[in-house]
Amino acid sequence: MIQVAVLGYGTVGSGVVEVIETNKADINKKAGEELNVKYILDLRDFPGDPYENKVVHDYNIILNDPEVVIICETMGGVKPAYDFTKQALMAGKSVCTSNKELVANHGPELIQIAKDHQCNYLFEASVGGGIPIIRPLNYSLTAEKIDGITGILNGTTNYILTKMDKEGADFEDVLKEAQEKGYAERNPEADVEGYDACRKIAILSSLMCGKNVKYEDIYTEGITKISSADFKYARQMNKSVKLLAMSRDTEDGFFAMVAPFMISKEHPLYSVSDVFNAVYVHGNMLGDSMYYGRGAGKLPTASAVVSDVVDCARHQGKTIMCFWDAENVKVTDIGDAKRKFFVRVKADQKEAAMKAFGSLAEVSVGIAEEFAFMTQVLSEKEFNEKIEQAGGCINRIRIMA
Ligand code: HSE
């Protein structure tokens, strides 16, 4: 029997226990041995819970129990998860986590410690919830040079943008409703400002190039400036607005960013709606492939954690190769990145905008106070110069090619 401990009995932690219990026959068969949750670490007690007698408050009980060989870290945050994970790995216990913050901050170090102690640090649930994306990048697409990843990696913002698109509602109203329904946190900053998607694309980018992409180096813009008027224009152009997290490995350098983009109906990410996530991967031999599913939520995320537990059970005493070195990647400044931009200025700026941008394509939805247009392909630097010459704008959204 393989003894497992779960750190944190919150949404994902309780999901892990539920997945192991619900699918025990299948999971045990696939793991090759019976899995048993021996301990659940939490500060709280859970009177009446079917697993209340497994709850412990002292991490040392788990750390010092030689029977426990796999630990699920579902606490979130860097402290104390970092110390607990390090201690577990140094004791030769494998750790499976959903904690993107910890993985984005300390991934290469923890992977190396696992390697040094013949155990594993696995993090399938840290990106895209239940969608298998870490495993495909790490084990399946090993014949590829992956040169592009574009993802919708945050369920909360995708839900908000989908509602704004379908209902013509404004950001603040939809956010309020999403908070009431529990789809958005009371403090929504990490989601709506793009920080959550930034950490996730940092993890995927690191796996893409086998080195460390620091999330602090990734240009990040959230969705708080997107309005119902932007969606009116987008619809007029057969497009929608999505928060995209992307990275590209090009001859000119490594490039990554998170920002709202207008994407057209033909793009496979256009139809990814509500809380769903998707990751669109380009490999030099395979071409495009896409991974789609529930990017958040108790059971989908827990399912990904348990899939890692099964992998650890199958590889006891062995480290599964994971190419993510500590060497930092130089992330190129986005100033040279080229694309078209959708722009809204005040009606009285029309002439100045036409002079600054030269060739442009007007987009009209009957908002008399505004002049809206699509630019030619420009670098970010060129765009910033021209929009300054035109006297600034109401909003601008990048267009996905
Ligand atoms: N807040 C995250 C999201 C949860 O909305 O996608 C999953 O990481």
Q: Which atom of ligand 1 is nearest to the CA of 156?
A: 5
pLDDT 10s digits, 18-71? 999 999 999 999 999 999 999 999 999 999 999 999 999 999 999 999 999 999
Distance (Å) from CA 243 to ligand 1 centroid: 13
Give the count of beta carbons closer than 10 Å to the beta carbon of residue 83: 11
Instruction: Answer yes or no: is pLDDT of 149 > 90.
Output: yes
Q: Which atom of ligand 1 is nearest to the CA of 190?
A: 1
- The reply to whether 200 belongs to the active site is yes
| Sequence-separated (6 or more) residues with CB below 8 Å from residue 200 | 100, 104, 126, 127, 128, 151, 153, 154, 245
Q: Which residue(s) pair with 4 in the sheet?
A: 37, 70
Distance (Å) from CA 6 to ligand 1 centroid: 20
The rounded distance, in Å, linking the Cα atoms of 380 and 274 is: 30
Distance (Å) from CA 361 to ligand 1 centroid: 36
Residue type present at position 399? I
Do residues 73 and 99 lie in contact, with contact meaning Cβ atoms separated by under 8 Å?
A: yes
The rounded distance, in Å, linking the Cα atoms of 64 and 330 is: 41
What's the average model confidence in pLDDT over 138-161? Answer: 96
- The helix/strand/coil state of 225 is coil
pLDDT 10s digits, 334-384? 999 999 999 999 999 999 999 999 999 999 999 999 999 999 999 999 999
Phi, psi values for residue 80, rounded to 5°: -90, 15
Give the count of beta carbons closer than 10 Å to the beta carbon of residue 34: 14
**Confidence grade of residue 204 (pLDDT, cut at 50, 70, 90):** very high
Mean pLDDT score across all residues of the chain: 97
What sign results for the dihedral spanned by CA atoms 249, 104, 121, 75? negative
| Residue 156 near ligand 1, beta carbon < 6 Å | yes
Q: List strands edge to edge, sheet with 68-73.
A: 55-56, 35-41, 2-7, 68-73, 94-97, 121-122
CA 213 to chain centre: 14
What's the average model confidence in pLDDT over 87-114? Answer: 98
First-last CA distance in the chain: 52
The rounded distance, in Å, linking the Cα atoms of 199 and 377 is: 29
